[in-house]
Every structure is written in C-alpha cells, then in structure tokens.
C-alpha cells in the first residue's frame, strides 16, 4: 500500500508548464507583457533623453571652457607683446579678471554610465557649476534645496515603471492566483491530486514572474549596452547584475504579497481590493508620509535665513573694504596702468575689494552653510532609515544610486565643487594681492577640475544590502504564504 510510484516529472514543472499554457491561451499574459514592454520602452526613452541632454550640457560647457581658454591665451600673448591694451575686466593678464568670469572655468559632473535607468534627482540638481571667485551662496545655493526623497515629483522613467507600475502588473497577474481556481472549481480537481497548494502557488508565481522579468530586466540592459558604450565595462556589469537582483527581489516581494493575500482573502474581488489598498499604502501613502516626516523631524534649511545672513555678511564686508571700494579706477586717467610691467599689472582696488569681499562673505557664511549641509545629510540619513519601512522607497533609493542620480552623488559633487572653489580662490589670492600678472604658462596651468567618482565599493554595498533586504522581506512574506497555504480548507 505504501509503495509509491516513481515520479519522473516534478509536480512543480508540470504546474509551471500548465500555467504557462493557460496564460498564453487566455491572452492575459500577452496583454500584460505588451503593456509592460511599452512602458519599459517609454521609461527608458525618457531616461535616455535626460541622460543625452545632460551629456550635451556638459559637452557644451567643456567646449565653452576650451574656447575661452584658447581665446584668453591668444589675447594674453598679444597683451604681453604690447599689441593690445585692454580694460582690466577683460584683460586676461589681470588675475582678478581671470579669477572671475573671464576664465570660463566649470565644475562638471558627468553622467554615471547607467544614468538612463533612473532620472532621480538629475532634473533638479545641476550637473555643472561655473567657477568664479563669487560667493558660494551665489552660484551653489541659488537653486531650491530639496528634500532628497522626491519620488512623487518624478518623471515617467524606468525607475517609475519599476517602482509604481510593476506592482500593478503583478497585481493584475496575481490577485486571483488561488481564488480564481477556487471560484472556477478547478481547485478541487487539482487538490484531489497529490499536489500541495504551496507547489501550486509556487508554480503559478514562477511563470508569472519569469514572464514579467523576461521583459523588465533584459530589455533595458540590452538597449543600454547597444546604445551607450560607457555601459559596457566590468564595473557596469556588476551594477547591472545588482540592478537585476533588485528588480527581481521587488517583483518577488509583490508576488509574495499577492500569494499571502490569496491565502487570507476569499473572493477574487476582495483580493483585488486588498492588493490595491496595499499598493496605495506602500507606494503612495508611505512615501508621502515619510516625506512629511522627514520635513518635520529634519526641516529643510531655511532659505530666508540664508538670504538675510548673506545680506548682512555682504554689508559687513562692504564696510570692511570701504576704502578699497571708494578708490577710483586709475586707468581712466592713466592708460599706463593697463600695461604689464615686470610681470606685474595693476589690479584696480575695486576689483581687489570685490574679490576680498566675496571671500569674506563665504568665510562668514561658512558655519551656516555647514549647518545646511549637515541638515541635508541628516535628511538623507533619515530617508535611508525610513526607507526600510517602504519597499518602494527602498528600491527607488537603490535604483537611483545605480543610475548615479541619487542625492548622495549630487552632494558629493557639491562638496567637490566647494573644495575646488576654495582652491581657485587660493590660487588667485596672492596674485591679486601682489598684483602679479598672469603669464601664458599660468593660463595653461590654472587649477583644473577633476570629478572624483564616488567609491564604487560604497555604492555597491549600499545597493546590495538593499537588494538583500528586499529579498529577505519577499522570502519572509512568501514563506508565510506557503506556510498558510498548507493549512486550512480549500472550500
């Protein structure tokens, strides 16, 4: 009686094949896959367009920098040869003019190789700053400081498709995973065979998940590899792998939710309602609430405070350099003052005052800016911690760090720009004070901007632990669903 027949076919594979056939026959799968393909395609297009735009912006800025440099060295040579006499503002021999807008220097942040995968903060944060001796407040803090979590204002990019749309498609395919079989009556037929509901559900999820993942993972990666050559390195492949793991884990999470709902809920329509409610909570309500919570717990730095402090600091520095400011431009009465003599040039005291005043303002405002940055960092940390509560936030954070469009990278850019800005001033400060004229060699050895990419290991770590956490969450829910399915009646 106890002798069992050999079972050459695994029950799971039978269910998988059967489910695939049913889904193909009744066209659900076709419809869902078409919708997903269209959305993935569009989302990717939006991301690529944004990345291209930013590429172009950087290229233009660098071209401008190059052209200015060539023009400047030409002009300088003719000035030094005594062929041209220029007013101090447009004279490249004048260090104060070069420290200002004349140099055409920029700090730029290139797109990360996988930028097209998520727009993230890249539509709000600049990817270049014009470097002059002006106050940081004038060129770095002139845009609105945003809460680092800003999913909802996002575009219809691939990250949006994954975070928002994919769970809806999972819901479409999974809300009636078991309830449909129960309502239709086939569940009794299935369960009169040596088949556990756990196996049945696993098989159903495997087919549906493979179908979705077969579109959402390879399509973007293949497109990227084809049209963005910088996406082809080994480092990028590892990132793509982590991206795939993340998307798969997020997908699995939603299927686990669907499976769990199917073991709790009764009718298909009830299940659908529960799924919609959960989607709304996880994807809409939690992020918005957390946005508010972050704003409350760690409010964005006050812009009015910054503005008024800047005004005070400016007034103070004006007073301090009053004498210099009030001096007249000598070159109007004495054209000799325009010439370079013994490698020296007269820097008009008003220009010197300007340089010093801006430096002063920055020194004065520095503690406040430090606090600003501290606050932003605080917010970021809070977002990191809170994102553990919402899978949507968790995944979005990781997706943007893979794309290099997360606020962390933009903050790093800001930091590096500040450091460069400081170096820029330090380079010119003695030259302006000592009225040293710029030489042709100086011009080609001005401080150079180098973007230092964030350490890859750090990024990788921040992504993988999120992917693992997502997977753990999905496994717990999935395990719960399977455990529940083995108990209770099927009626």
Q: Considering the complex, what minimum distance in angstroms separates the CB of residue 169 from other proteins?
A: 21
Give φ, ψ of 341 to 5 degrees: -130, 130
Task: With contacts defined by CB under 8 A, name the span among 3-11, 130-138, 277-285, 438-446 that binds other proteins.
Answer: 3-11
Give φ, ψ of 129 to 5 degrees: -130, 140
Q: Which of residues 194 and 233 has its CB atom nearest to other proteins in the complex?
A: 194
Among 142, 144, 323, 491, binds other proteins (CB under 8 A): 491
Task: Tell which residue, 160, 68, 92, 96, has the closest CA to residue 425.
Answer: 96
Count, residues near other proteins per rule CB under 8 A? 32
Among 9, 81, 296, 332, binds other proteins (CB under 8 A): 9
Q: Which of residues 197 and 223 has its CB atom nearest to other proteins in the complex?
A: 197
Q: Considering the complex, what minimum distance in angstroms separates the CB of residue 208 from other proteins?
A: 17
Where do the H-state alpha helices sit in 233-346? 234-264, 268-279, 286-297, 303-320, 322-326
Helix (H) or strand (E) holding 106: strand 105-108
Residues 247-286 binding other proteins (CB under 8 A) are none
Q: What would the x/- binding string for other proteins be over residues 125 to 164, using CB under 8 A?
A: ----------------------------------------
Among 264, 277, 281, 490, binds other proteins (CB under 8 A): 490
**Contact status, residue 172 vs residue 32, Cβ threshold 8 Å:** yes
Cα torsion angle, 281, 287, 292, 297, sign: positive
Q: Which of residues 82 and 185 has its CB atom nearest to other proteins in the complex?
A: 185
Q: Considering the complex, what minimum distance in angstroms separates the CB of residue 178 from other proteins?
A: 14
Q: Which of residues 8 and 82 has its CB atom nearest to other proteins in the complex?
A: 8
Among 144, 441, 446, 489, binds other proteins (CB under 8 A): 489
C-alpha angle 73/74/77, rounded to 5°? 80
Q: Is 435 in the site for other proteins (CB under 8 A)?
A: no
- Residue bearing tokens 């172009």: 56
For residue 39 the two structure tokens come to: 């959305």
3-state helix, strand and coil shares in percent for the chain, rounded to the nearest 5: 75, 0, 25
Q: Which of residues 24 and 307 has its CB atom nearest to other proteins in the complex?
A: 24
Residues 193-252 binding other proteins (CB under 8 A) are 193-196
Residues 10-29 binding other proteins (CB under 8 A) are 11, 14-15, 18, 21-22, 25-26
Task: With contacts defined by CB under 8 A, name the span among 4-12, 58-66, 307-315, 318-326 that binds other proteins.
Answer: 4-12
Report how far residue 72's alpha carbon sits from residue 443's, in angstroms, rounded to the nearest whole number: 8
Report how far residue 386's alpha carbon sits from residue 396's, in angstroms, rounded to the nearest whole number: 13
**Contact status, residue 81 vs residue 400, Cβ threshold 8 Å:** no
Residues 33-92 binding other proteins (CB under 8 A) are none
Q: Is 364 in the site for other proteins (CB under 8 A)?
A: no
Q: Considering the complex, what minimum distance in angstroms separates the CB of residue 241 from other proteins?
A: 36
Helix (H) or strand (E) holding 386: helix 349-386
Give φ, ψ of 490 to 5 degrees: -100, 0
Q: Which of residues 189 and 452 has its CB atom nearest to other proteins in the complex?
A: 189
Report how far residue 491's alpha carbon sits from residue 485's, in angstroms, rounded to the nearest whole number: 12
CA distances from 218 to 41, 58, 215, 472 (A): 12, 29, 6, 23
Q: Which of residues 75 and 485 has its CB atom nearest to other proteins in the complex?
A: 485
Report how far residue 350's alpha carbon sits from residue 330's, in angstroms, rounded to the nearest whole number: 10
Q: Which of residues 178 and 224 has its CB atom nearest to other proteins in the complex?
A: 178
Q: What would the x/- binding string for other proteins be over residues 369 to 408, using CB under 8 A?
A: ----------------------------------------
Q: What would the x/- binding string for other proteins be over residues 160 to 199, using CB under 8 A?
A: ------------------------xxx-xxxxxxxxx---
Q: Which of residues 194 and 229 has its CB atom nearest to other proteins in the complex?
A: 194
**Contact status, residue 470 vs residue 394, Cβ threshold 8 Å:** yes
Report how far residue 325's alpha carbon sits from residue 360's, in angstroms, rounded to the nearest whole number: 14
Q: Which of residues 191 and 225 has its CB atom nearest to other proteins in the complex?
A: 191
Q: Which of residues 7 and 450 has its CB atom nearest to other proteins in the complex?
A: 7
Q: Considering the complex, what minimum distance in angstroms separates the CB of residue 409 from other proteins?
A: 50
Angle, to 10 degrees, between the axis of helix 166-174 and the axis of helix 28-80? Answer: 170
Question: Which residues of the chain form contacts with other proteins (CB under 8 A)?
Answer: 1-2, 4-9, 11, 14-15, 18, 21-22, 25-26, 184-186, 188-196, 488-491
């Amino acid at each position: 009686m106890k002798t069992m027949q050999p079972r050459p076919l695994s029950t799971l594979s039978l269910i998988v094949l059967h489910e695939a056939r049913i889904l193909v026959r009744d066209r659900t799968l076709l419809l869902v896959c078409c919708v997903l393909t269209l959305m993935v395609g569009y989302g990717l297009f939006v991301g690529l367009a944004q990345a291209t735009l930013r590429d172009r912006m950087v290229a233009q800025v660098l071209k401008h920098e190059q052209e200015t440099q060539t023009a400047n060295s030409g002009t300088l040579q003719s000035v030094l040869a005594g062929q041209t006499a220029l007013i101090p503002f447009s004279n490249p021999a004048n260090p104060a003019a070069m420290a200002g807008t004349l140099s055409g220097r920029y700090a730029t942040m290139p797109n990360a190789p996988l930028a097209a995968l998520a727009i993230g903060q890249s539509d709000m944060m600049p990817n270049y700053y014009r470097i002059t001796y002006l106050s940081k407040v004038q060129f770095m803090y002139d845009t609105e400081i945003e809460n680092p979590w800003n999913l909802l204002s996002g575009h219809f990019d691939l990250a949006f498709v994954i975070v928002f749309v994919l769970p809806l498609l999972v819901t479409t395919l999974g809300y009636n995973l078991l309830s449909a079989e129960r309502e239709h009556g086939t569940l009794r037929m299935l369960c009169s065979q040596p088949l556990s509901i756990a196996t049945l559900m696993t098989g159903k999820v495997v087919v549906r998940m493979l179908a979705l993942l077969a579109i959402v993972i390879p399509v973007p990666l293949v497109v990227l590899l084809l049209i963005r050559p910088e996406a082809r390195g080994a480092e990028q492949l590892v990132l793509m792998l982590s991206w795939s793991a993340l998307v798969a884990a997020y997908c699995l999470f939603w299927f686990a939710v669907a499976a769990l709902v199917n073991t709790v809920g009764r009718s298909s329509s009830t299940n659908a309602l529960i799924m919609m409610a959960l989607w709304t909570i996880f994807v809409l309500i939690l992020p918005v609430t957390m946005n508010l919570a972050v704003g409350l717990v760690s409010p964005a730095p006050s812009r009015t405070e910054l503005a008024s402090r800047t005004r005070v600091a400016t007034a103070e520095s004006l007073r301090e350099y009053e004498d210099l400011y009030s001096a007249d431009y000598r070159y109007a009465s004495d054209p000799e003052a325009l010439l370079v003599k013994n490698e020296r040039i007269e820097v008009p005291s008003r220009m010197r005052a300007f340089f010093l005043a801006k430096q002063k303002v920055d020194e004065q405002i520095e503690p406040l800016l430090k606090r600003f940055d501290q606050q932003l960092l605080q917010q970021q940390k809070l977002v990191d911690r809170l994102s553990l509560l919402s899978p949507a936030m968790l995944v979005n954070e990781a997706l943007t760090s893979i794309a290099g469009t997360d606020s962390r990278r933009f903050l790093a850019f800001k930091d590096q720009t500040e450091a460069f800005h400081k170096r820029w001033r330090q380079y010119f400060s003695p030259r302006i004070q000592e009225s040293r004229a710029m030489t042709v060699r100086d011009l080609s050895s001005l401080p150079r901007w180098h973007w230092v990419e964030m350490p890859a290991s750090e990024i990788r770590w921040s992504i993988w632990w999120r992917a693992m956490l997502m997977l753990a969450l999905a496994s717990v829910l999935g395990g719960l669903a399977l455990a529940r399915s083995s108990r209770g009646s099927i009626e």
